[in-house]
Structure 1
Amino acid sequence: MKKYTIYIFGLLLLSACAELDVNPLSEGSSENWYSNETEVTMALNDLYREVFWFTDDDSWTDDWTSRGATTPITNATVNGEWGTVSTLWTNSYKAIARANTVLQNLDRIAGVVPQETIDRFEGEARFIRASMYANLVNHFGDVVYYQDILELEDAFSKSRTEKESVLQGIYEDFDIAIAQLPVSYGGSELQRATKGAALALKARTALYQSDWQIAADAAKACMDLGIYELYPDYGALFLANNKNSAESIFAIPRSVELDVALGSNYPVRATITRNAGGWSAYNPSWDLFCAYLCTDGLPIDESPLFDPHDPFANRDPRLAETIVPFGAEHLGFIYQPHPDTLQVLNLNAGKYQTNNDSRGTIQWASWNGLVWRKGVDEDWSDDRLTDPEKKIVRYADVLLMYAEASIELGNIDQSVLDAINAVRARAYGLDPTAADAYPAVTTTDQTELRKLVRLERRTELALEDRRYMDIIRWELADKVLNNDIYGMLDVAELREKVVAKDLWFFPEVPPVDEDGVADFTPMYEKGLIKLLADRAFDESRQYLWPIPTKEILINSNMRQNPGY
């Protein structure tokens, strides 16, 4: 396992009176700091900590289920006191304040440090500031915007700036970062901001805001750097032992040795199967499971290749790399959730044992029969600690961003098809030119391509925290998050109504609509599946998040978003 040099110093996560972190004490006093290259480097290193790089959670989407549980997003109870709202707001402004402080003090090292190094420092600080503001705008819309060092009284009185003005500042910061950051750092293990990272995150910001031309241009410029490529093995790409691949454009490193890891009870133990010592409480949804196409490129309700009783067969290979197939080896066991499979092979011991992943044995086994495979290997289960890098953006995402933005612009040419097919062919382990060996995309119809690229994003980027912002910006959240969560019947009924009638796993083929959304209500109305939870999404307000309540209370100039 590689060790990453991570500079962590001072007091972490210091609270500021107005939550805008007007004095970043973890960097030392700004009156005597920033006097040499080492001090500026340390200040910037602090901003690469994972706590500052907020990502959305797949549990807020239709790709996820956790038994009968929902979240504030999926049960429509989001308010300004939700901890996640405060965390995003607080940590983003801490990073912004610290980036501003670096930028305001770079003149101190002029003449002492080479100008090329100072320019890089400026590029890094601007990249970080732009990334933080982009996350705020994506979730809150209009936000407090400033580029200097706030005095205390200003922190209590700043009002929100219109989103469009903030976006211009974000794009300007990214452009300066693009101009001043290096293409690479010569193989350094500590991932820092690069020209490609700035281009990729500028593209993502523009994509999320429907600034299609900006998104297409930035994504294409990232592609044209010629230094990124798709990793040949989709499944291995996400394992902890595969860091710094040529597909990774920007990532935050983790290290078990340095106590920067995924661990404890969540999410690791909740994701691991029960046979391997976990809880199997966090699971892929049936909604996601049914979104994967068959190998003929058709959805499951149209393809003659789909068998609801052998639902992993003849499917996009990414399905089996994301969700554990029935009968497959996983974490040292054969995974089989069938209610009558009461014994299972322990591959490490070479003998059969009680199958704790079957609800016929343990009622708390996966309630819908599915468990996550993507990125999960024995490194998760040996000590409940794992340290895959936190992928902020990778090359496949850039290819799909370029394709989507170009499609929305109506600029549909071979480069668009090539971008989508490169991602799809990799899933099959093929060169994109082998068009007869995988379901290559050939249509140039804008409506069809829009549907295909959205589906490609869902299946390629599953469990990578991208689905939430996709359903928000596509305005699908009110549709998919008002669909309920379904799973298997309880064991006695499952055996009687499904297994005894040879209807395992899916009793029927669920219809799938033009957005790739499966409808399970026919099976539910026939009593063949169980309602696990009611999802709810309030479209009148939830497309934006509320400003944290404490910000409203301490600042009379801070207005709340509608509906909160």
Structure 2
Amino acid sequence: MKNLLLLICGFILLQGCHSLDLNPLSDGSSETWNSTPEELEMSLNGLYKQVFWKKDLDDWSDDWIYRDGLTEVTNATLNGQSAFIKTWWLDTYKAIARANTIIKGADRAKDKLSVEQLNMFIAEARFVRACMYSSLLSHFGHIIYTDDILDIEQAKNLKQVEPEFVLQRIYEDFDFAIANLKTKYTTTELHRVTKGAAMAMKARIALYRGDFATARNAAKDCIDLKQYNLHTDFASLFLSSTKNSPESIFLLPRSIALNVVLDDRQNYISRNAGGWAAKDPSWDLLFSFICTDGLTVEKSPLFDPSNPFLYRDPRCKATIAAFDEPLLDYIYTPHPEALNVMKISTGTLVKNNDNRANAQYASFNGLVWKKGVDNEWLLNSWRTEPDNIIIRYADILLIYAEAKIELNEIDQTVVDAINQVRARAYGVASTSLDFPAVKLGDQHALRQILRNERRMEFALEGLRYMDLIRWKLAEKALNKPNYGLLDPADLVAKVVKTGKWFLPSAPTIDADGLPDFNQFNQQGLIKTIAIRKFDASKQYLWPIPSTEVLTSGLKQNPNY
């Protein structure tokens, strides 16, 4: 979605009463509101509040380390009283209630709108409702479904329904949106959600639910619209200066002036630049990027353990700050003997606070983020305003490829889709010989390539957690330790002086593409920072909030 900046301030007239907020109106205005196009627009604008568009946190995945801390997800302590569980549930149902109110009340404006215009308003509300139910379904599984405006007693009496029923209702909403929304908007129109966005979000929930035929078809329909293109440069796509990229199929704008921001950036920034370097990429992520010959670090003769950023897929350096290269006006290095580094703007050596010999709380594993990072992160109290991209074209290409692979419909279109994404990372056309193109292979081989391609492409975008969940890899990936560097004195003595910096060799990569550092840990060359835990007996679904189980009689998910 583009040019929604003017919509951010859209107010929500509706107020909630029930814990699920399924009864959103509490006064007589409910009987007359939405009777004009202007009122419908104001109601729709309220559906795009950032609080309604939840994203999974990278904190919940194996791409992440936050010093020695863990989350309720990665410590297997998730329960029905977890604050974010309750918030996710309630906020999403609030959005659904507001969408239902618009859909049910839109006919009040039928005398002022053409049938086509009225259906566009309804289609937009149904798009949002489908997105909200998709979020609930993929996380909680057994949820409440309603497409009506309810009084408090009716809302209290609702019971959970089968996931397949909800999925079909989601498809119906997306299909109505696809049939009635515009393909694109003119330069003089305020851009709102499009049919391409509905196709894309339908493809995503279908993939998440294992309905690969629907995912394939919806992704193909989106591709065939020919409305979207990959952003020319991978790294610049995520900067605050890049707005409304042709790759963005559905986005919500951010604005520092309107206090709709991406905040907490100080935790992500190197200490030399004034940050804390606390929330960092994991070694698991670093060593998942393939080398420029297309092979994993374990198999590639190009891999250099003393400089793990050499000869790697370009997305590696675009995602994680490379050693001995510029980062926010400093040369970045966590090397324990690099006590001073160059400040680029002055050409002088300064104390290296990204070295744990100088700063105890410098990155515990030597890594910091690069993706999306620029000098704007240092301004405005560590708040930034890059577009909040909900889904982009690279995801649709890889959804199409994955769905076809899982259906065992292996053909040239599968590798073409993957290669478009990979070639963009190298800055070349997918027909070029200057990148390690994926070749046709069997289902198993292509599945592993596709899964790792997603990891390289979407790091720090909130997609890794759900990939682990739907691939049933969370019980493996999230039951591994988070490793980091030894304390400085031991690091120098055991690693640097023995010629084993950064690592003595490449880690092994298992059949699921997950790096294994245990051999280095057993040799005393690295340090266990935190031990992740994941309980496969229950955590593939989230718990229903305890308040809903106790007060509304909802059935809790197994083993919570």
TM-score of the two chains, using structure 2 as the length reference: 0.97
Change (3 A) 1:189 1:505: farther
- Deviation, 1:87, is 1.4
Residues 202-281 of structure 1 correspond to what in structure 2 (within 5 A)?
Answer: 202-263=202-263, 266=264, 268-281=265-278
Contact 1:191/1:250 (<8 A) preserved: no
Aligned length: 557
CA distance in 1, matches of 2:456, 2:236: 16
Pick from 480, 483, 492 the counterpart of residue 486 of structure 1. 483
Matches of 2:140 and 2:208, distance apart in 1:
13
Structure 2 residue corresponding to 1:441, chosen from 438, 448, 456: 438
- Tell me the amino acid that sits aligned with residue 7 of structure 2: I
1:485-513 CA-partner distances (Å, limit 9, x unpaired): 00000011001101111211112321001
Query: 1:10-89, aligned counterparts within 5 Å?
Result: 10=11, 16-24=17-25, 29-89=29-89
The 5 Å alignment of 1:99-248 reads 99-187=99-187, 192-248=192-248
Q: What root-mean-square deviation, in Å, do the aligned CA atoms of Structure 1 and Structure 2 show?
A: 1.6
Change (3 A) 1:297 1:453: same
| CA pair 537-307 structure 1, distance change in 2 beyond 3 A | same
The answer to whether the Cα contact below 8 Å between 2:306 and 2:500 also exists between their aligned partners in 1 is yes
Question: In the alignment, what sits opposite 1:415?
Answer: 413
Unpaired segments ≥5 residues, structure 1: none
Matched, 1:334 2:335: no
3-state SS in 1 of match to 2:357: coil
Equivalent-residue separation in structure 2 for 1:212 and 1:340 (angstroms): 52
- The AA in structure 2 aligned to 1:421 is N
Q: Give me the whole-angstrom Cα distance separating, in 2, the residues matched to 1:423 and 1:13.
A: 42
- Answer whether contact 1:3 1:257 (CA < 8 A) is retained: no
Distance across 1 between alignment mates of 2:505 and 2:356: 21
Q: Secondary structure at the match of 2:250?
A: strand
Structure 1 Cα separation of the partners of residues 236 and 412 of structure 2? 29
SS at match of 1:334: strand
For residues 31 and 4 of structure 2, the distance between their equivalents in structure 1, rounded to whole angstroms, comes to 34
Q: Secondary structure at the match of 1:291?
A: coil
Larger deviation: 188-197 or 239-248? 188-197
* Contact 1:24-1:97 within 8 A present in 2 as well: no
SS at match of 2:112: coil
Cα distance change of structure 1 residues 474 and 188 upon mapping to structure 2, 3 Å threshold: farther
**Counterpart in the other structure of 2:297:** 300
**Within 1, Cα distance between the matches of 2:531 and 2:33?**
53
Q: Secondary structure at the match of 1:275?
A: helix
The residue identity in structure 1 corresponding to 2:386 is: P
* Aligned-pair identity (%): 50
User: Residue 298 and residue 28 in structure 1: after superposition, are their counterparts in 2 closer, same or farther (change >3 A)?
Assistant: farther
1:399 pairs with 397, 400, 411, which one? 397
Q: Which residue of 2 aligns with 1:385?
A: 383
- The residue identity in structure 2 corresponding to 1:443 is L
Give runs of aligned pairs for residues 444-463 of structure 1, distance below 5 A.
444-463=441-460
Report deviation, 1:3.
Answer: 9.4
Q: 1:333: how far off? A: 1.1
Is contact 1:24-1:94 (8 Å) kept? no
User: For the structure 1 residues 70 and 341, does the alpha-carbon distance in structure 2 shift closer, same or farther, using more than 3 Å as the test?
Assistant: same
User: How far apart are 1:20 and its partner, in Å?
Assistant: 2.7
| 2:346 is the counterpart of 1:345 | no
Cα 1:78–1:227 shift into 2, 3 Å:
same
Q: Aligned-pair distance for 1:196?
A: 0.5
CA contact (8 A) 1:216 1:402 kept: yes
By how many angstroms is 1:344 displaced?
1.3
Q: Is the 8 A contact 1:48 1:192 kept in 2?
A: no
Corresponding residue for residue 366 of structure 1: 363
| 1:354-413 C-alpha deviation (Å, 9 max, x unpaired) | 111111110100000000000111111133121011110000000000000011111111
Deviation at 1:192, TM superposition (A): 2.8
The equivalent residue for 1:506 is 503
Unaligned runs of 5+ in 2: none
The answer on whether the counterparts of 2:253 and 2:387 sit within 8 Å (CA) in structure 1 is yes
Distance 1:226 1:28, change over 3 A: farther
Return closer, same or farther for 1:28/1:507 CA change in 2, 3 Å cut-off.
farther
Q: What is residue 467 of structure 1 aligned with on the other side?
A: 464
Which sits farther off after the overlay, 483-492 or 11-20? Answer: 11-20
**Which deviations, in whole Å up to 9, do the C-alpha atoms of 1:1-38 show, x marking residues without a partner?**
x992134355699553322341246x993122112101
Secondary structure of the structure 1 residue equivalent to 2:226: coil
Structure 2 distance, partners of 1:515, 1:358, is 33
